[in-house]
Amino acid sequence: MPDLKLPSRAEDFAEWYNQVVLRAELADYAPVRGCMIVRPYGWALWENITAALDRRFKATGHVNAAFPMFIPKSFIEKEKKHVEGFSPELAVVTIGGGEKLEEPLVVRPTSETIIGHAYAKWIQSYRDLPVLINLWNSVVRWELRTKLFLRTLEFYWQEGHTAHATYEEAEAETRQMVDVYTDFAATEAAIPVIPGRKSEGEKFAGADVTYSLEAMMGDGKALQFCTSHNLGQNFAKAFEIRYLDQTGQLQYCWTTSWGLSTRVVGAIIMVHGDDQGLIFPPRLAPFQVVIVPIYKTDEEKALVFETARKIRAELVAAGIRVKTDEREGASPGFKFNDWEMRGVPLRMEIGPKDVAKGAVMLARRDRPGREGKSPAAQQGLAATVAKALEEIQAALFQRALDFRKSLTFEPADYVEFKTAVEKGFAHAWWCGSSDCEAKIKNETKATMRCIPLEQPGGQGLCIYCGQPAKDKAIFAKAY
Ligand SMILES: [Zn+2]
């Protein structure tokens, strides 16, 4: 096990990211360019993400189902904007079982079309509404510039698809999911996000309105955390999703879709990590606590291991995810560094002296060195650990929020704006014109991330053209 230092984040953020993902064994490259292999440690993180979201989806009345990976190519072509948006990145199957297929099949890039087909069959009357289904699956969008978790040809995600009787209900659903995701981001991932509307140019292919949650990464760039789309009647009209209303009139449904992907793993890495490696928020960490036994002689080893196993059992019984590092031939110092790099929020050291005193030593990952270390009694340890994990969770959120505030600027003019987007977010008045948006993108490489739902009110002058503007938007370079 080589113990090479990671590149510092200030020196090469991209290389720090690549190396930490590989060395922490979160994911690996696959033989097919653009694909990724998610390793058990990375998958455990994703499982905790899915569990935290799934709980929230079910609490808001949604149910899970599974839809096929193959979609008839003609389906994708039914919604005009959808096909324009997705055509360049489709994977198409033309041969099956050695025979040329009559109709090519698309590997799903997203499931709106096949959902539309099924909903048209299932929905007849207003009594069948709303339909609130979520899918956990993977989708394929052809992509050759691999960046593990952030940009891959196949990625894992969930896609929610709902159908409603009215526009108001569909909009309420779209916004409800924005709130669900915002709560997940803050509470579970310890990531402050800015919920807002996408511009016409950045919205989902086939949506009336796209909402996104934008987060600031550790290098000041933005990452779109997830999206929620009000699809209006676009897919309902393309797929004939209709219902008889209470007066016996045939009406088109209003549909929504919303999704969050394994990109969020990338966000967690980039928001919380430091030069030593990952820092996982306790609520999502695969292991919340790592126990490192410290001993020299065989007698000490027997004593320390016995205590470590007893403590582990108590913590596990209290619902805490614990790993005991019993590796032979690796020094405690090596193990400390290794688990620091892998982002375990709390380390517990147990040596012969601790056993004699009925104590352990705790070390917080978010506070390196002496500052984060404190002794704790073995008596009532599960409660002490649970409290420490909550404190770490809260501290990570606060640190991310302070960092975002420190790199969010209110530029007074376009010169200041250009400096702002080199460092972080520019929060600026925007007239709403796609022309200004495009020029800003060309000149600064910063994109309009979202028009935050929270607006200052009043009006100002567009940062680019100086025309009256009623919305302030977030501009940034983005992943
Ligand atoms: Zn303008």
CA of 475 to the centre of ligand 1 (A): 13
CA distance 49 to 374: 30
SS3 133: strand
The answer to whether the beta carbons of residues 140 and 109 sit under 8 Å apart is yes
CA of 131 to the centre of ligand 1 (A): 40
CA of 415 to the centre of ligand 1 (A): 15
**pLDDT band per the 50, 70, 90 thresholds, residue 86:** confident
CA of 223 to the centre of ligand 1 (A): 24
CA of 222 to the centre of ligand 1 (A): 22
Only one residue has tokens 């309420």, namely 172
CA of 461 to the centre of ligand 1 (A): 8
Q: Residue 190 pLDDT more than 80?
A: yes
Q: What is the largest CA-CA distance in the chain?
A: 84
Q: Which of 79, 140, 134, 153 is nearest to 106 (CA)?
A: 140
CA of 469 to the centre of ligand 1 (A): 8
CA of 447 to the centre of ligand 1 (A): 14
CA of 435 to the centre of ligand 1 (A): 7
Alpha carbon distances (Å) from 470 to 11, 456, 463, 467: 39, 9, 12, 10
Q: Check whether the bond before 192 is cis (ω within 30° of 0).
A: no
CA of 233 to the centre of ligand 1 (A): 30
CA of 431 to the centre of ligand 1 (A): 4
280: left (phi over 0), alpha (psi -120 to 50) or beta: beta
CA of 474 to the centre of ligand 1 (A): 14
Phi, psi of 304 (to 5 degrees): -65, -40
CA of 434 to the centre of ligand 1 (A): 8
Q: What is the CA radius of gyration of the chain?
A: 25
CA of 462 to the centre of ligand 1 (A): 5
* Percent of the chain at pLDDT exceeding 70: 99
At 83 the pLDDT is 81
CA of 468 to the centre of ligand 1 (A): 8
| Burial class of 30 by CB neighbour count within 10 A (0 to 12, 13 to 18, 19+) | middle
At 400 the pLDDT is 98
At 387 the pLDDT is 98
CA distance 346 to 187: 18
Q: 204 - beta bridge partners?
A: none
Q: Residue 3 pLDDT more than 70?
A: no
CA of 221 to the centre of ligand 1 (A): 23
Q: Residue 80 pLDDT more than 70?
A: yes
CA distance 162 to 133: 6
DSSP assignment of 261-325, as one string?
ETHHHHHHHHHH-BTTB----TTT-S-SEEEEE--SSHHHHHHHHHHHHHHHHHHHHTT--EEE-
CA of 465 to the centre of ligand 1 (A): 4
The answer to whether the beta carbons of residues 253 and 164 sit under 8 Å apart is yes
Determine which of 78-87, 96-105, 179-188, 458-467 has the lowest per-residue pLDDT on average. Answer: 78-87
CA of 1 to the centre of ligand 1 (A): 55
CA of 405 to the centre of ligand 1 (A): 25
Length of the chain: 479
Q: Residue 390 pLDDT more than 80?
A: yes
CA of 31 to the centre of ligand 1 (A): 46
CA of 241 to the centre of ligand 1 (A): 39
CA of 436 to the centre of ligand 1 (A): 5
The answer to whether the beta carbons of residues 389 and 282 sit under 8 Å apart is yes
CA of 467 to the centre of ligand 1 (A): 6
Q: For 433-441, what is the mean pLDDT?
A: 97
CA distance 109 to 88: 11
CA of 438 to the centre of ligand 1 (A): 10
Tokens of 86: 């997705």
SS3 358: coil
Q: For 253-269, what is the mean pLDDT?
A: 98
At 2 the pLDDT is 52
CA of 346 to the centre of ligand 1 (A): 49
Alpha carbon distances (Å) from 150 to 35, 106, 274: 11, 23, 18
CA distance 173 to 231: 11
At 308 the pLDDT is 97
Handedness of CA 373, 377, 378, 384 (dihedral sign): negative
The answer to whether the beta carbons of residues 172 and 263 sit under 8 Å apart is no
What are 15-73's pLDDT values in tens digits? Answer: 999 999 999 999 999 999 999 999 999 999 999 999 999 999 999 999 999 999 999 99
The answer to whether the beta carbons of residues 288 and 384 sit under 8 Å apart is no
Half-sphere CA count of 260, side-chain side, radius 13 A? 26
Alpha carbon distances (Å) from 375 to 140, 179, 354, 357, 385: 49, 39, 9, 10, 11
CA distance 344 to 125: 52
As a whole number of Å, the end-to-end CA separation of the chain is 32
CA of 464 to the centre of ligand 1 (A): 5
Q: Residue 112 pLDDT more than 70?
A: yes
Q: For 457-478, what is the mean pLDDT?
A: 96
CB atoms within 10 A of CB 391: 15
458: left (phi over 0), alpha (psi -120 to 50) or beta: left
CA of 92 to the centre of ligand 1 (A): 40
168: left (phi over 0), alpha (psi -120 to 50) or beta: alpha
What are 276-306's pLDDT values in tens digits? Answer: 999 999 999 999 999 999 999 999 999 999 9
Vertex 185 angle, CA 194 and 421, to 5°? 35
Q: For 72-79, what is the mean pLDDT?
A: 89
